[in-house]
Amino acid sequence: QVQLVETGGGLVQAGGSLRLSCAASGSTVSFNVIGWYRQAPGKERELVADVSSGGIRNYAVSVKDRFTISRDNAKNTVNLQMNNLKPEDTDVYYCRFRSATYDAWGQGTQVTVSS
């Protein structure tokens, strides 16, 4: 089993910054990918950014120059630094852990960007 604990999120004005953190525990010893996804009501969940245990990063085009994902393998923690936030970044953000054995999601955290 893999457990994910998400922290961060909240309300910020446009142009501001927020940081999301995801801590994974349990059966995490293997090659894995941890990332952040977001979902607006009525829309499909989409990838924001992810990073593998080998350090390979992927970003959605819409966030590539504003968000930075980082990882501490010793702590199994992934951070998403979100800068220059825009109202269209408003969504529920979910952490996801994927390995050959598990595919686990966090409970989600709300990010609201006011204009």
Distance CA 32, CA 67 (A): 21
Q: What is the pLDDT of residues 33-87, one digit of tens each?
A: 999 999 988 999 999 999 999 999 999 999 999 999 999 988 889 999 999 999 9
CA 76 to CA 93: how far, in whole Å?
Answer: 18
pLDDT at 29: 73
For residue 103, give Cα distances in angstroms to 20, 80, 88, 95.
20, 19, 27, 11
Q: Indicate if the pLDDT at residue 13 is higher than 90.
A: yes
Reported confidence tier of residue 27, pLDDT bands at 50, 70, 90:
confident
Supply the pLDDT for residue 26.
85
